[in-house]
Amino acid sequence: MVLLALMQAKAAVLDVSANCDAIDDAARRAASAGGQLLLTPELFPVGYAPCRLRTDLDPSTLPAIRQVMAEIARQHRIGLVYSLPAVTADGQWRITATLLDGNGTELLSYAKVHLFGPDERSVFKAADAAPAVVDFHGVRTSLAICYDIEFPETARAAALRGAGLLLVPTALGPGFDAVPQVLIRARALENHMAVAYANHAGAEDGIEFPGGSVIAAADGSLLAAAGSGAELLFAEVGVAGPDDADAVSYLRDHRPGTYRGWEG
């Protein structure tokens, strides 16, 4: 089992120092409570403002921010998931998420496959790679980002690779309450894995983020849910036992070869 902490908070757009301080404080509090892993929202160290990031963020500063994230993990001896822009060798911008262990060592990285809205699509390039899976304290763990989780293929790809825990930094705006309230729980149930979904809370660059972060268990039940303000959620997540696995047969009974013939 892993004691997961989920940070929901308001970022200050392009105030990297303030945002990193907020992550550091959440990591300190999570570790003090026995947390082994802290999940933070999408693009939190720089704030969620795609167009402003492209015009005002110097990409040469990104490695230093990643070093700060690694130092936070090392200092508090806690695993950490953070999300930042990344620039490829050919100059393409991507939205990424990274999982660190308690030594600050990178265990897993992921680039967003499904970009949401005209701002993201004008700034970033969609990735193509499926979610990978690593072992974190005995729990097979994977990453997705925001809009990715609204496509069942993303979570299913992680589950088929053995994931028991899917960590999802997000920046979900108003009017999409069904995502945390319905879809996250459905993704957890249909793939028999825990899903954690960490959102911003408060106004950033004209968007009023509603919070509503959730942690869903492998049976679709809610382990923890946030309101509209800053919160630090906790939940124990782990590998389901054999009896639980027998009770949910979606992975065992799915027929991918058949479905390919349905595509028209």
Of the chain, the percentage scoring pLDDT greater than 70 comes to: 96
Element (DSSP H or E) covering residue 224: strand 222-225
Say which amino acid occupies 68.
V
The yes-or-no answer on residue 112 being catalytic is yes
pLDDT in tens, 96-148: 999 999 999 999 999 999 999 999 999 999 999 999 999 999 999 999 999 99
Give the model's pLDDT for residue 242: 46
CA distance 128 to 112: 8
Q: Considering 10, 20, 120, 146, which one is annotated as catalytic? A: 146
The yes-or-no answer on residue 42 being catalytic is yes
CA distances from 257 to 104, 115, 128, 253, 260 (A): 41, 28, 21, 12, 5
CA distance 178 to 169: 17
- Which DSSP state fits 102? T
Give the model's pLDDT for residue 254: 87
The strand pairing partners of 83, in sequence order, are 97
Say which amino acid occupies 209.
F
Long-range pairs of 110-115 with CB within 8 A, sequence gap ≥ 24: 110/142, 110/143, 110/144, 110/145, 111/86, 112/145, 112/146, 112/147, 112/148, 113/148, 113/154, 114/147, 114/148, 114/150, 114/151, 114/154, 115/147
At 240, the pLDDT band (50, 70, 90 cuts) reads low
Contact between residue 232 and residue 226 where contact means Cβ atoms under 8 Å apart: no
Q: Considering 10, 20, 42, 120, which one is annotated as catalytic? A: 42
Give the model's pLDDT for residue 247: 54
The yes-or-no answer on residue 146 being catalytic is yes
Please list the alpha-helical segments (H only) found in 104-224. 117-123, 152-160, 178, 184-191
Q: What is the set of domains in the chain, with CATH numbers? A: 2-260 (3.60.110.10)
pLDDT at 241 over 50: no
pLDDT in tens, 177-207: 999 999 999 999 999 999 999 999 999 999 9
The strand pairing partners of 95, in sequence order, are 85
Please list the alpha-helical segments (H only) found in 15-151. 16-32, 50-56, 62-76, 117-123
Provide mean pLDDT across the span 67-78: 98
Provide mean pLDDT across the span 22-48: 98
Q: What would the DSSP string read from start to end of 38-68? A: EE--TTTTT-S-HHHHHHH--GGGHHHHHHH
